[in-house]
Amino acid sequence: MAPGVYKQTVRSSLVQTNGHMTRRERREYMVLPSANRTEKRLTAFEGEYRKGGKLIPYSEPGFTYKGMDIDGKVINDLTEDLVNERESMDGIPHSLFPLRSKELGSYRFALKGEVEHKGRRAYQIAFEPAKSCPHDCPSWK
């Protein structure tokens, strides 16, 4: 691979409220980042869906097995939305990470304590939105 190019593996699953997996996909991309955007090429794909008690494999994104395959559309759309943001250097939408440095002023932080996690000291930090969201976030109202 050329410098700056890397492999990204994405695993997606749809699970019903009863805990049964209805669909699972694994995608591999070759990622070509640049200064302010990213290009991705799908290089490998594996998927499977549940039909009755069996898992049936398929090999193409967007595969449908019923006349109106809601599960297939949902998992494809969610995966594409979460990994193919073209205006991001790594393809991951910035909105998934609200604690970027330019957003820190929009939150209040408090140290809740110290704990040991896997043999290491860790800090528990609570945070919540400050008075208002600078981006008019509906969940803050």
In a domain, 140, yes or no: no
In a domain, 30, yes or no: yes
Q: Is residue 87 located within the same domain as residue 106?
A: no
Q: Is residue 30 located within the same domain as residue 84?
A: yes
Q: Is residue 17 located within the same domain as residue 35?
A: yes
Residue 27 belongs to what domain range? Answer: 6-93
Q: Is residue 16 located within the same domain as residue 56?
A: yes
| Per-residue model confidence as pLDDT tens for the chain (141 residues) | 555 788 989 999 988 888 888 899 999 999 887 777 778 889 999 999 888 888 889 988 877 766 556 777 888 888 888 888 877 777 778 777 767 787 788 888 889 999 998 999 999 988 888 875 555 554 444
Taking the C-alpha atoms of residue 39 and residue 30, their distance in angstroms, rounded to an integer, is 8
1: nearest Cα among 45, 35, 41: 41
Number of domains composing the chain: 2
User: By three-state DSSP, how is residue 99 classified?
Assistant: coil
Q: Is residue 76 located within the same domain as residue 105?
A: no
